[in-house]
Structure 1
């Protein structure tokens, strides 16, 4: 891939552009806010403005609800031969793009699994996706060349391409990203009710658990709303676990009968042990890109 365009020069778009420029790809930067594109260009992420001829691949680094409109606009303007996106929800944008009459043969959904709680081009890093999974969600209509270009994009950014169906991806990120963000936000919101003397005792544990809550409320309202059912399913099960723990704690605070106290203690201990077991299942972050995944595209399910 020799040329690319990045539409949306926030954290993700600028990080992608920085990685591409570092690998010698001529990269153009487009944003509805010209100042954001200029800042990204000043950081060395590419050339602010549209190319004179179509580039090999355009990356739509915009929120989920804007993917279809951006795809329609830039396909009509012949910005690129093929298109991908970087939104963290895949099923809804795909349906919206189909309804909008976009050329789905030249589009493959994408989601680089990397980010930070900061936003904007100044928070971008050229190694943000190093060793991270980069999900690709080709539809039955997607042509092979579009998938190959999106795969190459992921590799140039140091990521590991992974093919998934749209719905499968959305269920996965509901569990691993979207629900955790909302839980972090809800916990952080409880601090609004704390006294300053209480907050003065906060340590690194609280910082770690609430780090995600610092993310953009506007962006995350879009993300969570675009994957609402899958996130609600995860949170409903989480709420059941939470209610059990609340009941156990209430019991330990009020019950004196030894047998009942043992039952409540066992419930509490089980919840903590399951947390340890669950955390142990998180794969260690790789520092190097994975093997070439080109053979996986032929074998992976292609349905939307």
Structure 2
């Protein structure tokens, strides 16, 4: 187990090293500039389209509403990523990590817009008559047959990542809390969660969307209200908290690092990593859910999809931070 832990830590250091951080933030910034900051300026329009997408046009292709597709994507991000993810980022990277989570979200809105737009534009109809899409289909249909191998690689690694950054983290966090708080054995929690998830998955994408669009809004609103109550109790501390976040984000003095700037590097590294873990911008997985949405306009789907990043990180993660 110790050898496995060391191997995972070594891979983690490479994957979330400077090259990957530059690639993720750089791509988001490039898209944001090419879009002339449209995702930021059109946040209000994005919320209006979310409301409108609850009742899509009757002749639009798709299996669930774009609203249900957004809630399905949010169901995988709002939760552990917003609680354990933010807490871990601050514990490892300092308060400044929250600032870099915000920056990741702001440029990530452009990334999410682009990946959802491409997922809907290049989606296909499968043998069951359902709309399927995502990065693998965008690569195959957009870049041509010579790049099909890259789409297969994404599907393979994306499927494996679904166990690690999706199911394992979420279920372990739930089981651990139930064990510590109520003394419920982890195997019992595992069985119950497996059965509940199984009932949803058996119904396919339509049942997944139906369940998500009922549970996720309630989950988000309940969390925000609870957070606001706590913040109201400690309202006098909020200005100092924001000052600490901004100071830590740009403070070149390393608290425990061996060189000046180590603190900033840790803040950026864990802020960006946990930001992506929280909102999925750049992973491409949100496009898979959005591709099933009933839509005739990929741009509108992209606008709805990018709002998931704003809701997840700018609103919910800030409450946690």
The TM-score, its normalising length taken from structure 1, stands at 0.21
Higher relative contact order (CA 8 A, sep 6+): 2
Answer 1 or 2: which has greater helix percent: 2
The TM-score, its normalising length taken from structure 2, stands at 0.21
